[in-house]
Amino acid sequence: MNAFSFEGLRVFLSRRSADIADLALQHLAVVLVSLAIATVIGVGIGLLVWNRPVPRTVSLTAAAVALTIPSLALLALLSPVLGLGWAPSVVALVFYSMLPIIRNTVVGLREVPAHMVEAARGMGMTRTRVLLRIQLPLAWPIVITGIRVAAQLTIGIAAIAAYVAGPGLGLYIFKGLSSLGSANALNYALTGTVCVVLLALVVDAAFVVIARLSTARGLRV
């Protein structure tokens, strides 16, 4: 078994820098695409169920149960249907994003003070308009926190998507796993893992900025 050396890692990184950057971008892309889809679906479900006790409980419970399915198992189930590559990866990531996004949407909408909703209704706003123009903007800081949690969750899970030939840094982690004992096994696994962590940190920092910019000015503290 080859011993780990920093010199070896340095050579490994310099030879594969373009490859690594490419994988990191793929990883980011699959996460962002999934988040965008998950936000539309999750916020949509939240808007539909926030004020209906039974659908609310059902969707929150379902999303919570979904999160307990091991990602490998889900990908194994999806790939016979959706094949390999992006499709099963995106579906899986959307699936795991549901709980934080739906839950925070529901919580955010419910936390808008009742008197504000009453003032809006009392001025003749329709229910839909109150929901979209008053409640959603007021709930947005909480909703975006849910999306941020989903981002952290999916960056990690996206690494597993390499199992079904999905895009991203998971490729290196699986390469390392499958070539244990070879010269570069540890370098592959280490590079994949560290890059995933770094990506997570960068995305989290970006969310601080996104949250601020997408929150109505009057709500910014």
Residue 113, interface with another protein (CB under 8 A)? Answer: yes
Q: Which is nearer to another protein, 53 or 122 (CB)?
A: 122
Q: Which of 120, 143, 144, 190 binds another protein (CB under 8 A)?
A: 120
Tell me the window of 35-43, 97-105, 133-141, 195-203 that interacts with another protein (CB under 8 A). 133-141
89 burial level (CB within 10 Å; 0-12, 13-18, 19+): buried
Residue 128, interface with another protein (CB under 8 A)? Answer: no
Q: Which of 70, 80, 122, 181 binds another protein (CB under 8 A)?
A: 122
Phi-psi region of 168 (alpha: psi -120 to 50; beta: other; left: phi over 0): left
Tell me the window of 8-16, 114-122, 159-167, 181-189 that interacts with another protein (CB under 8 A). 114-122
Give the shortest CB-116-to-another protein separation in angstroms.
Answer: 5
Give the shortest CB-218-to-another protein separation in angstroms.
Answer: 4
Give the shortest CB-143-to-another protein separation in angstroms.
Answer: 13
Residue 132, interface with another protein (CB under 8 A)? Answer: no
Q: Which of 119, 177, 197, 206 binds another protein (CB under 8 A)?
A: 119
Residue 125, interface with another protein (CB under 8 A)? Answer: yes
The rounded distance, in Å, linking the Cα atoms of 147 and 100 is 7
Q: Which is nearer to another protein, 177 or 219 (CB)?
A: 219
Tell me the window of 2-10, 122-130, 169-177, 191-199 that interacts with another protein (CB under 8 A). 122-130
Write out the residues near another protein by the rule CB under 8 A: 113, 115-116, 118-126, 134, 137-138, 216-219
